[in-house]
Structure 1
Amino acid sequence: MEQASREWSWNISEGYFRLITECIRLFSNSKTTFGSLAQIIDERSASASELHKNYRAEDLKKHLEIIPTDGDLPLKITILESSYDAIDDSIPEIEKLLGDSVSFANAVSLLLFDLVVEENRTEFVTKFGLSMLDAKAYKGAAKRTDGKVVPIR
C-alpha cells in the first residue's frame, strides 16, 4: 500500500541550501547510497518530537540566526504525510522552548541541525562560508544536552 505524500515548497537562504546539501552528503555517506532531502526528512521526522528535549533554547536560536531559513532560492520537495505530521506536531514544543514562533521550514532546519550534531561533523561550518566568529558560535551551539539538565524558565 502506497503511503500518502505531501508536497511542500518555500524559498530558502543560501546557508539553508548549504545545510541541506551537506546533510545529503552526510546521510548518503552513512547509508552508502545516494540520498535526498525527502529521504532524510522521512527517516528523521520521528525524532522531531525530541528536539526540544535535546537542545538548549539558545543553541537552537543560534542555529536559526546563523543559518536563516528564508531566502531567494526555491525549494520544493515531496515527503510522506506522516513525516509532515510528525514535524508539524513537534512545533508547539519547540515554540514553547524558544519563546517564539517556528515555521515548518524552521523545524526542518532544526531537524537537519540535529543530523549534523549526530554525525558529529561540525567542521562543515566552514563550507557554509561563515565568518570565523559565526563558525565558532555555531560549533558551540551544535551539541545536545546530556538529558539531565532541566531548563528553568
Structure 2
Amino acid sequence: MAVDHQQIELNVSEFLFRLTTESLRVRSNEVLRPQTVDELVEHLLTSNEATTSQSQVAVIRDHLATIPSIGDVKLPVAFTSETASCLAKAKRSLSLRLEKPVSDAEAISVLMFEYIAAKKAISLLQKLGVISDGAPH
C-alpha cells in the first residue's frame, strides 16, 4: 500500500536551521544512522508527548522570540497523512497554550527545542551519576 506524502517548503531562519541540524545530529547519534529532516520531524511528531508541549508557556514564548521561525533558508519537509495530522494536533495544542496562532515552523521549532533540551538534561544527569548511561531515554 502506498503512503501518501504532503511536501511543504518552510522558509526558516538561520537560527531555526541550526536548531534543525543540531537535532538531526543528536537524533542520528541516538539511532546510529543518518537521519533526514523528514524522519526527524516524523519522530518528533509521532512520539508520545509530541502533541502537548511539556515546557511552560513563558519558556515557549522565550524560545520563539529567541529563535525566529521565518527566514530565507528553504527547508523542504514531506509529511505522511499521520504526521500531518500530528502536526495539526501539536499546532492546536500550542495555539491554545500560547493564545495565538502557531505556524508549522513554530510548532516544529518548539518540538526540536524540547527534544534537544531533554537530551541535554539526560546527558547532565548521566554526568552527575543520577542515571546510568544505559538507562532508557
TM-score when normalising by structure 2: 0.81
- Mapping 1:1-153, distance limit 5 Å: 1-46=1-46, 47-51=49-53, 54-120=54-120
Q: How far, CA to CA, are the matches of 1:17 and 1:117 in structure 2?
A: 17
- RMSD over aligned CA atoms reads 1.6
Unaligned runs of 5+ in 2: 122-137
Report the Cα offset of residue 48 of structure 1: 2.6
Q: How far, CA to CA, are the matches of 1:2 and 1:111 in structure 2?
A: 28
Give CA deviations for 1:1-25 in whole Å, capped at 9, x if unaligned: 2322110112110000100000000
Q: How far, CA to CA, are the matches of 2:67 and 2:16 in structure 1?
A: 6
Q: How far, CA to CA, are the matches of 1:85 and 1:77 in structure 2?
A: 14
Contact 2:4–2:80 (CA under 8 A) maintained in structure 1: yes
Unaligned runs of 5+ in 1: 122-153
Report the Cα offset of residue 41 of structure 1: 1.1
Residue 134 of structure 1 is matched in structure 2 by none
Count of paired positions: 120
- Where do 4+ consecutive residues of structure 1 move more than 4 Å? none
TM-score when normalising by structure 1: 0.73
Contact 2:69–2:105 (CA under 8 A) maintained in structure 1: yes
Q: How far, CA to CA, are the matches of 2:50 and 2:3 in structure 1?
A: 20
Whichever structure has more helix as a proportion of its residues is 1
Q: How far, CA to CA, are the matches of 1:10 and 1:78 in structure 2?
A: 11
Report the Cα offset of residue 50 of structure 1: 2.0
